[in-house]
């Protein structure tokens, strides 16, 4: 299965960030390796710019969230159709920061994933447990419930990203055994062909080890994707 290396820029980046992408392309010797898929999810303000500037560079652009409806009186929201119109091919839904900061339920995440598929986008559906849930031994119960509640019921394409909440942006990562066990658990819950990414403090120093684990089909990278040197190293680590 082709690995997918996705960069989630979160609420970072201005128009001048074009130079960081240009630097990334240069570090990859002018072209993205064609045996892996590369995705960059900048803030919504940069999607159109990045899609226009880098449409021929061999990587995709994605959004970080979308509304479940195609249009309407939803001030400040962006629909999946708008993302597609701006040049996006993917969209992240259900990230733990959205679930925590905006109270998004599994039902809401599923509606957004279905909206993404409706618009021709591939949703990257995020799941993951908190530190307290893992210490209580409930990590599989939690992730299993999130999968059951968040995945659309149809045959449309989607990606799963396992991100233990306690590892996001903290510098902490689960053991390789923990990652392998959770990815095997998720693999058994989704249909064949669905890629399962790992996210949570992925960086150049641990990328090769994480990406070599069975059932890890790529990575959802946060802070390290903002730095061309770090993101290029993670891309090269994918086999």
Positions marked active-site: 95, 163
CB of 207 within 8 A of CB of 233?
A: yes
- Supply the DSSP string of 124-147, one letter for each residue: EEEE---HHHHHTT-HHHHHHHHH
CA distance 85 to 150: 25
The string of DSSP letters for 160-193 reads: EEE--GGGTTTS----HHHHHHHHHHHHTTS-TT
CA atoms within 13 A on the CB side of 176: 9
User: How many other C-beta atoms can be found within 10 angstroms of the C-beta atom of residue 234?
Assistant: 24
Contacts of 4 (CB under 8 A, 6+ apart): 36, 37, 38, 39, 159, 195, 197, 217, 218
- The owner of tokens 């066990």 is 181
- Cα separation, 105 vs 56, in Å, equals 37
Tell me if 41 sits within 8 A of 90, measured CB to CB. Answer: yes
């Amino acid at each position: 299965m082709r690995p997918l290396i996705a960069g989630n820029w979160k609420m970072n980046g201005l128009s001048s960030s074009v130079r960081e992408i240009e630097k990334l392309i240069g570090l990859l010797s002018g072209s993205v390796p064609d045996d892996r898929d590369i995705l960059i999810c900048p803030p919504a303000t940069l999607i159109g710019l990045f899609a226009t500037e880098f449409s021929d560079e061999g990587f995709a652009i994605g959004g970080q969230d979308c509304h479940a409806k195609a249009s309407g009186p939803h001030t400040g929201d962006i629909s999946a159709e708008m993302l597609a119109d701006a040049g996006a091919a993917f969209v992240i839904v259900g990230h733990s920061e959205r679930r925590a900061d905006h109270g998004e339920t599994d039902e809401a995440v599923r509606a957004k994933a279905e909206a993404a598929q409706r618009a021709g986008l591939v949703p990257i559906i995020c799941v993951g447990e908190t530190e307290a849930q893992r210490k209580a031994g409930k990590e599989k119960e939690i992730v299993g419930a999130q999968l059951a509640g968040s995945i659309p019921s149809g045959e449309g394409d989607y990606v799963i990203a396992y991100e233990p909440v306690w590892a996001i942006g903290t510098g902490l990562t689960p053991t390789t055994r923990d990652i392998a066990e959770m990815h095997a658990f998720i693999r058994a819950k989704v249909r064949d062909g669905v890629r399962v990414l790992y996210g949570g403090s992925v960086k150049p120093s641990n990328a090769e080890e994480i990406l070599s684990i069975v059932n890890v089909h790529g990575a959802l990278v946060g802070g390290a994707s903002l730095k061309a040197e770090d993101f290029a190293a993670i891309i090269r680590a994918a086999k």
